[in-house]
């Protein structure tokens, strides 16, 4: 005589038993209840568990849940003092500048991954990057919008050399030229450093061609006309305007021009008629 083997509980069956508890809460606790805030929800849930759900006879175990909890409680570990930060996951793409963007901040990843889609996990303190299931790097989270969090090793060799000449390097080089050059570089790099770093490096490079004295004079003229830009300094030097007497733009003129108004003729030290 053949006997039919006993059917073991499958994972799907056990999963259904666990999920039935969720249905029980949704069907017996949530309906007709209103919560003012999270504290009110927790208070009502505790009252319901202690006086209703916890003292009923469970349909599967045929025992009261609170009675079973009394047996298990000595074996349970204490909750951590600080709740875990589960973070959020986002799909991002590594752009050509070797950075991904998340909430208006930028984080670097190895240049060999440029153009690829990565997973970004953000918590309150860090941002972690993954290529599929492989951890790439974890950055401290940016503190402000527009901030770039960059690891030099993530950049290609030519870019590393570029960023080695950073704001501090530029400031040191500019101070060696003179106070006006130092002021112009400080204004140029006052904000959006990554975007204007090349321009600052370009201004300092002009000193190799024209000399420190002429570069200082050109920076002084550019500052006097409130035009702290690489192109302005370069044009002043190329036109020789730095060798001309500097006329401060202070004379009030008719037709609405004020003491702050400047003209290209004043800026580059040429006769007005030449510009027309």
The pLDDT tens digits for 66-82 are 999 899 999 999 888 88
3-state secondary structure 184-218: HHHHHCCCCHHHHHHHHHHHHHHHHHHCHHHHHHH
Q: What is the mean pLDDT of residues 241-251?
A: 76
pLDDT tens by residue, 32-44: 899 999 999 999 9
Q: What is the mean pLDDT of residues 81-92?
A: 89
Q: Does pLDDT of 2 surpass 50?
A: no
Q: How far apart are CA 28 and CA 34, in angstroms?
A: 14
Q: Does pLDDT of 274 surpass 50?
A: no
Q: Does pLDDT of 276 surpass 50?
A: no
Q: What is the mean pLDDT of residues 165-173?
A: 81
In the predicted model, what is the mean pLDDT of the chain? Answer: 83
Instruction: Flag whether the pTM goes above 0.75.
Output: no
Report pLDDT for 260: 45
């Amino acid at each position: 005589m053949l006997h039919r083997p006993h059917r073991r509980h499958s994972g799907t069956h056990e999963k259904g038993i666990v999920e039935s508890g969720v249905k029980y809460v949704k069907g017996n606790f949530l309906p007709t209840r209103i919560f003012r805030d999270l504290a009110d929800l927790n208070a009502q849930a505790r009252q319901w568990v202690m006086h209703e759900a916890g003292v009923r006879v469970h349909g599967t175990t045929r025992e009261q849940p609170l009675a079973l909890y009394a047996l298990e409680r000595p074996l349970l570990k204490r909750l951590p003092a600080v709740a875990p930060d589960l973070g959020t996951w986002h799909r991002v793409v590594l752009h050509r500048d070797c950075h991904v963007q998340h909430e208006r901040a930028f984080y670097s990843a190895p240049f060999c991954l440029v153009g690829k889609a990565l997973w970004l996990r953000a918590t309150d303190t860090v941002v972690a990057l993954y290529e599929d299931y492989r951890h790439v790097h974890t950055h401290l989270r940016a503190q402000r919008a527009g901030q770039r969090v960059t690891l030099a090793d993530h950049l290609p060799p030519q870019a590393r050399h570029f960023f080695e000449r950073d704001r501090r390097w530029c400031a040191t080089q500019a101070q060696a030229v003179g106070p006006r050059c130092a002021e112009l570089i400080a204004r140029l790099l006052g904000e959006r450093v990554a975007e204007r770093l090349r321009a600052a490096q370009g201004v300092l490079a002009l000193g190799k061609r024209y000399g420190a004295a002429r570069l200082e004079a050109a920076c002084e003229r550019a500052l006097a006309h409130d035009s702290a830009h690489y192109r302005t300094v370069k044009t002043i030097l190329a036109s020789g305007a730095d060798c001309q007497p500097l006329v401060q733009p202070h004379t009030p003129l008719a037709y609405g021009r004020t003491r702050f108004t400047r003209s290209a003729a004043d800026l580059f030290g040429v006769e007005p008629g030449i510009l027309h």
